[in-house]
Chain A
């Protein structure tokens, strides 16, 4: 346990530090900077220089880097370079929105795909493959549809044509009904892909476990098919499934950036896109570090869940 915790935190630290450094320098490799992005074509060279001076962009690169590291350690996220808004507050407002989308998507995915995959596996095990083939077909179809495309189609169909969901409106937790109806379509778009993947993985894992010897033992003890399937098979299949849920979180974060942009939802993803468009180094690098931390923590939690589920893995 101690061994494990030491090893794991060291890994976490190195990963996050690497991300911070990489992001800092690659951002500065992109042509143009915050000042020129803000100024556009209208400002003279001298005025631009003055803006750079004020934004701290004229300092040597390494001193900018170490200054940034120091601020991070002090948990001082600073202000956006362009609009001088406190970054901590901006992220704080955006987090609940993005996390709601992500967690609802996972919930919807788990509730639909695990029973679906389990039943498909059971039927396939008995040699009845119709549901199984349907599931595979659906998964292949979904794999061919990029999420920005699905998002646009859903927007067009459910919002603009059918009018089931509002295409605009305040997204705030103070108005839960509005909040839910605004994030419903993003959640649906993301869930479609996730469900296809998860159902297929559940199906494969459960199918494999159904031919294990201990499943036969459970049958030989006289347990009903239902209990054999959900107690023994699914409990063992939960191990690979938990791992995949954890890993798919990364994809999900990716997806939130796209859907937030298309559905104009003020989440972390939209913040990031605005930051990139305005070359706001401070905002972008802070957001990416935030994503990295989130991603690394999810992996860590997945690992812990796996260890909790499987008594054979010790710390």
Chain B
């Protein structure tokens, strides 16, 4: 890859950038002396967890921080001009023109009451000095480039008339249309489905390369980094702890935080008896920042010096720079292996905990006129079994009906038709535990709630049960007197799991239980769920769009598309030898956190969006996006059939 072309290759140089937030509790330093450079045409990934200061840093470059945030020091040199000292007016000439920005949430980042044309055309007119007609033509050209079908027609649409993926394309077209030399993309694909994410990432990569623009890409997804970046900056607690070329970072990371982060991701070939290595503890509270190195409390090789002085970035092997006192990071200490997990005996096929037959759920529209009453067909004839002690993973894009299946399983919704048998009790763990807890209840009362509702035991036996549950999920009885707001995200998810376990359920349904958590905490929860399954012998239904995690935790996987199961079978088989083209596309879309593997993959991302569940196609639901669809697929609906030992698929061309 060649991207240096100029004699003076440096485009952006950030020196000692400090960003502070003045809060009632005092001044919080969100960005604490960050320095790095981006060369012309280079793609730099900024990786970090929530609270690491990565977004605050990016927003500080153009002073887009909202009150009470402010840039407190440092320089932001764009071609030698210091943006940090420019007036607001002078900076407005840079924003949009020299530096384009793509934000995280496409649903909220476009003005809802303005047509796309207005939002796009006026900046082009102003920045490129074009007439309204020429600017409109330019906007249409960009919409076409980012893959909006019928750009002449769609340019006069309102944002709400587009899907999330389409809106993010519009955002990108907007950011690129004024031909900036640097694009700042703040988690541009986090809110999107994995297949759409793959499309967007490919497109961003191609278009910036074509325009010769450099890019700063902020993310928490290490897989994306491997697919995308030339260089990586890893941030922790407001500082860059490691910086360097992507290959070196993945092959031989130097900082203990980078090293542990890379180990916590389930690999493509992880076996179920190996526990995921996890980083103990939680990221520091930036309001009370520790003295010395901020990572030392979670670091296995911390020394006395780490508590006294914060290390600066210093050069290491392989063009890397790391901020650590310990040469080699975790490699300096003998690696403590996680104990192996006891794996349950071979699956007992005879005892079925959950059986779903031909489940259908349609949500009726409302209105006097017939055309307003079309039903949203969320679930269209799903049949599944979960055996005792088995984990069933359900994967699919948003809108595929996986969460509706979960709600039906728990009886939160009534099915339109079909049957559900559960041998015992089903309980739920939600994605966002904070919003599913009453903030005025102590943890003890939250866990006690299901017991109280069922009049379980007396006061003393309940107290004993609560104590047993809280230790079972890896917390201390001391946590019981606290309130949800006093716990971290990972701790709250542990409480949610304890509550789900309170009544000894036979099956626990977990809907995206780790997606609201930080990367370094995610492995803790995945390990906990896998341990509980092995120890208690209960069944799990694990719903997620994170395929690597689903593969790691599940015994069997059901792949859903538009309310139907299109493939079902043992986790490893479905993942390693997918039969349905949709499954294959999903797996191909998942970024692998290894730049060499990523470079070797030759995948064309899946085209298009999901069809609307209001007008389902007659034939195969996937035919509109399938690379191998034929005339038969558009007229005949394939049924789920067994092709291999215990692996089923709904495709005319499955073998």
Contacts and interface: CB of A to CB of B under 8 A. Distances in A.
Partners in one complex: yes
Interface in A185-235: 211-214, 216-225, 232, 235
B93 interface: yes
Interface stretch (B42-50, B310-318, B364-372): B364-372
A213 B105 CA distance: 8
A126 B113 contact: no
Interface stretch (A98-106, A249-257, A307-315): A307-315
B160 A311 contact: yes
Interface in A1-47: 2-3, 6-7
Nearest to B115: A311
B430 interface: no
Interface in B231-286: none
A126 B66 CA distance: 8
Given A217-B103, A222-B95, A232 B160 contact: no
A222 B66 CA distance: 15
29 contacts: A3-B367, A127-B67, A127-B68, A211-B66, A213-B105, A214-B108, A214-B111, A217-B109, A217-B110, A218-B111, A219-B64, A220-B64, A220-B100, A220-B101, A221-B123, A222-B92, A222-B95, A222-B126, A223-B123, A224-B89, A225-B88, A232-B111, A235-B111, A235-B113, A235-B114, A239-B113, A311-B158, A312-B113, A312-B158
A27 B226 CA distance: 80
Nearest to B372: A3
A125 interface: yes
A236 interface: yes
B95 A220 contact: yes
Contact of A236 (B113, B174, B368): B113
Nearest to B93: A222
Nearest to B99: A220
A309 B103 contact: no
A217 B101 contact: yes
B448 to A, nearest CB: 37
A199 B114 CA distance: 25
B67 A224 contact: no
Interface of B: 62, 64, 66-68, 88-89, 92-97, 100-101, 103, 105, 108-114, 123, 126-127, 158, 160, 171, 174, 367-369, 372
Interface string A277-315: 000000000000000000000000000000001111000
Given A3-B372, A220-B96, A312-B112, 14 more contacts: A7-B368, A125-B66, A127-B68, A212-B108, A218-B111, A219-B95, A221-B95, A222-B93, A223-B123, A225-B88, A232-B111, A310-B112, A310-B113, A311-B113
A224 B108 CA distance: 20
Dominant SS among interface residues on chain A: helix
A125 B67 contact: yes
Contacts, number: 83
Given A2-B369, A211-B66, A225-B88, A217 B111 contact: yes
Contacts of A125: 66-67
A2 B370 CA distance: 12
Nearest to B70: A127
Contacts of B174: 217, 221
B575 to A, nearest CB: 36
A82 B94 CA distance: 77
A224 B92 contact: yes
Contacts of A214: 108-112
A66 to B, nearest CB: 32
Contact of A213 (B103, B123, B367): B103
Nearest to B63: A219
A310 B89 CA distance: 31
A243 to B, nearest CB: 14
- The winner among A212, A218, A232, A236 for most chain B CB atoms within 10 A is A218
Interface in A101-144: 125-127
Contact of A221 (B67, B96, B367): B96
A116 B93 CA distance: 29
Nearest to B159: A214
A159 B147 CA distance: 69
A223 B92 contact: yes
A6 B369 CA distance: 11
B159 to A, nearest CB: 8
A241 to B, nearest CB: 13
A61 to B, nearest CB: 38
Contacts of B110: 214, 217
A309 B113 contact: yes
A309 B68 CA distance: 32
Q: Which of B92, B100, B369 has the largest number of chain A CB atoms within 10 A?
A: B92
Contacts of B368: 3, 6-7
Contacts of B108: 212-214
Contacts of A219: 64, 95
A311 B114 CA distance: 8
Nearest to A210: B66
B95 to A, nearest CB: 4
Contact of B123 (A7, A222, A224, A311): A222
Contacts of B101: 217, 220
